[in-house]
Amino acid sequence: MKYIIAFVLLASITLFSYAQPKIVFNEKTYDYGSIKEDGGLAVCVFEFTNSGTEPLILNNVKASCGCTSPNWTKAPVAPNQKGTIKVSYNPKNRPGSFSKNVNVYSNTQPSVTVLNIKGKVAPREKTLEEKYPRVMGPLRLKSNYLSLGSIFSEESKEGELIFVNTSDSPVKMGIHRAPAHIQVRFEPEVVDTGAQGKAIITYDAKLKNAYGYSSDRIYLTINDEKNNTYSIGTSVTIKEDFSNLSEEDLAKAPVAQVDKKVFDFGTIVQGAKVGHSFMLSNDGKKDLLIRNVKTTCGCTAVKHENLVKPGESIDLRVEFNSRGKRSRQNKSITVTTNDPKNPTLVLRIMGTVEVPAKK
């Protein structure tokens, strides 16, 4: 009897396993190839067949990204009948290669089928306003700011800013005012209507005679007109070149050390001032020179000596003025020295500024 029962159970399980829907796709991946960013929605259709013995129901279809929208057959699909899943991909503002998954949830086993779309979006041609977003009188510039990165104190470095003449007449370029360590030339000096030009900027760090981060502003003339809005900002970080030091030189070099790098002043009332002294020591064998001290905010002032003898220490007195400040504050102080192994020290003063309650 038990053999009969086992046979009936086995037959029931076998029949149940066959009595169910089965989803079969012609393809599970669609490659759009190359499509245009401004070409509108890219659409493909995945076709499937219910090769099972029961109606097939798609419970849901979800894409892995909001840029992909699926639409699918909502009615039950009878055995041996077909259904479709239409997938739309929006390439707007998405240049470059893409690969997105679409999860299909159905009453099959397994219950999830993963489809994939992929391709490459060719970027659209940008407008003149997008290519040259900065306006300066009759000119449009890609940028009115030039970062030259790092430069050694004995070097000069060159960079350029591109602009286009959008007026209906030629434009003559010139310099109204520039720092002595910055030279500017224009190619060409007279820019025709609709033509492109460039300002070539040469920064001479030796003439600047400074260290650390430095920013400057150059004032231009356009058609001999002087206007303070006709200006270009530049920045650079000037470093000392230690590459020629021998092992003996390095062994005798100054060594900068601080007792702590962070001071938390806790909570103060808006308008209050708080100070702290960081102790800077010279653990080397030669004089430690403080080349530059730079803070991230005018609200933070530093008083210090510029030389630390071997084996001695000085105070870097930092004062934070909370006037006009509120909530959490975090200010940094960058100290540049002639320590060849650690020429830059970054200190921080932080805390919370509370605004007094109005009476």
| Residue that has been written with the tokens 């003149």 in this structure | 128
pLDDT at 73: 96
Backbone angles phi, psi at 208, to 5 degrees: -65, -40
pTM of structure: 0.69
Q: Which residue has the higher pLDDT, 144 or 359?
A: 144
pLDDT at 4: 47
Determine the Cα–Cα distance for residues 231 and 178; give it in Å rounded to an integer.
10
> What would the pLDDT profile of 43-97 be if each residue is shown by its tens digit?
999 999 999 999 999 999 999 889 999 999 999 999 999 999 999 999 999 999 9
Tell me the domains of the chain and their CATH numbers: 2-122 (2.60.40.10), 128-239 (2.60.40.10), 247-354 (2.60.40.10)
Over 50: is that where the pLDDT of 274 sits?
Answer: yes
pLDDT at 11: 43
Over 90: is that where the pLDDT of 21 sits?
Answer: yes
In terms of DSSP H, where are the helices of the chain?
A: 2-18, 128-131, 205-208, 247-252
Tokens of 186: 């224009």
Across the chain, mean pLDDT equals 93
Angle at 203 between CA 199 and CA 208, to 5 degrees: 145
pLDDT at 18: 57
Order across the sheet with 68-72: list the strands.
Answer: 23-25, 42-50, 82-89, 68-72
Over 60: is that where the pLDDT of 3 sits?
Answer: no
Question: Once rounded to an integer, what is the mean pLDDT over residues 119-139?
Answer: 95
Backbone angles phi, psi at 195, to 5 degrees: -90, 160
